[in-house]
Amino acid sequence: MHGVWSSRWTFILAATGSAVGLGNIWKFPYITGENGGGAFVLVYLVCIALVGIPIMMAEVLIGRRARMSPINAMKYAADEAALPHAWAAIGWMGVLAGLMIISFYSVVAGWAIQYIFTAASGTFTGITGESAGGVFANFLQSKGTLLLWHSLFMVMTLGVVAAGVTRGLGAVARVLMPVLFVMLALLLVYAVIKGNFSAGFAFLFDFKFDKLTWSGVLKALGHAFFTLSLGMGAIMAYGAYMPAQGSLAKTVITVGVLDTVVALVAGLAIFPIVFAAPGLEPSAGPGLMFISLPVAFGGMPFGVLFGALFFVLVTIAAWSSAVSLIEPGVAWLIESGKFSRATATSLLSGVAWLGGVACIYSNNWLEDKPGGVFSFVFESLDFLTSQVMLPLGGLLIALFVGWFMRRAIVQSELDAEEHPLFDIWLFVVRWLSPLLVIIVLIAGLVEKFQ
């Protein structure tokens, strides 16, 4: 009904596209440098091995087993395990989380589109930090411009999802991800030649164990979970389109490795450029992407070209993630038999578009908040999804596959009959992954309300 990826590598590129997003570019490199560099990377890799990859395998496994949307896949899996359909709540929560995330994600992606043109126009040539901050602040006050780019990005997303699994999601993954890799490589070469590469490399990879605190370990754990787009149904939906042949475990590990490599290479491309500019300090989030980097590019040779290239890269990363956020709900509507793919995509894109409009026009609610780029709606959607719904979804997926799916079914889907590593993976999914996700969930809530 939905189609199948044309090859295992199409699934890998699509899943990597879902995983690689703004967090890889504006968050991971900074939290790495601030929390011990190489020491943080080691902890992060352990967390990926104990949380990210095991839960991703479980989520893909359910999707490929059922060949349906996350909502119906959980019903199917619950039937096989003789459990109530209440387990479908995992799928419902994922669909809702995806719509909530794309509502504010699309607004930020619109910022990146605007900055392609701003950078290409030479606006940032010789600009100071104060002036760059002013440009960004003025842009955020222009509701009409924000609405235009948010709307354009939603149309871009709608077009890909409406085209279907093979001609839309798969074709775009096969084109966009190689383009993203090439652009990242070009920016890395530029950073090596024109940036302060030694300072950037030291920031990211020097082993500074004295800077690795318990808070840093929690950040590594949280990012290991969120970076792979777990708990929101996107990976389960993509798993439903995965070809039956090919190793599920090797495929998921490849996605985890590619996602991590992109994040680290992004850091190696970004921070040498930041460190090359006098007086600029490394930062994270919008301050890095829309203030620090424009200043850095503005003071470097060929900065107009590579600044524009950087924001094209950011837009591609956001676009490849966005299409996966809306797909679980679209798949479910198609399965109901009442909607075509085009109608289902248009309906959910419209809902997400309205959510983005609410983000844009509630922007004034928190104007007096220090550094307050994020609006009331924006911040609320971000908190509910990233700190509550996604960890809860990931936790329930791990518990379901680890404790309730029949061992023979899990082994068959993983092609792991008599494999010596199967029992290790099962132990991790039953015990370690849920425990660590509970820590992520509690830590996020404590940080929010302390």
Per-residue pLDDT 10s for the chain (450 aa) are: 578 999 999 999 999 999 999 889 989 999 999 999 999 999 999 999 999 999 999 999 999 999 999 999 999 999 999 999 999 999 999 999 999 999 999 999 999 999 999 999 999 999 998 999 999 999 999 999 999 999 999 999 999 999 999 999 999 999 999 999 999 999 999 999 999 999 999 999 999 999 999 999 999 999 999 999 999 999 999 999 998 887 899 999 999 999 999 999 999 999 999 999 888 888 878 888 999 999 999 999 999 999 999 999 999 999 999 999 999 999 999 999 999 999 999 999 999 999 999 999 886 544 444 444 445 788 888 889 988 999 999 999 999 999 999 999 999 999 888 788 999 999 999 999 999 999 999 998 998 887
**402 within a domain of the structure (yes/no):** no
For residue 20, the model assigns a pLDDT of: 94
**429 within a domain of the structure (yes/no):** no
DSSP assignment of 404-448: IS-HHHHHHHHT-TT-TTHHHHHHIIIIIHHHHHHHHHHHHHHHH
**154 within a domain of the structure (yes/no):** yes
> How many domains, the chain?
1
**425 within a domain of the structure (yes/no):** no
**292 within a domain of the structure (yes/no):** yes
To the nearest 10°, report the CA torsion of 200, 205, 209, 214.
Answer: 90
For residue 316, the model assigns a pLDDT of: 96
**266 within a domain of the structure (yes/no):** yes
Residue 340 φ then ψ, to 5°: -80, 165
**115 within a domain of the structure (yes/no):** yes
Here the CATH number for the domain that contains residue 278 is 1.20.1740.10
Residue 370, domain extent: 8-381
- Biggest alpha carbon–alpha carbon distance for the chain: 66
**421 within a domain of the structure (yes/no):** no
* pTM, entire model: 0.93
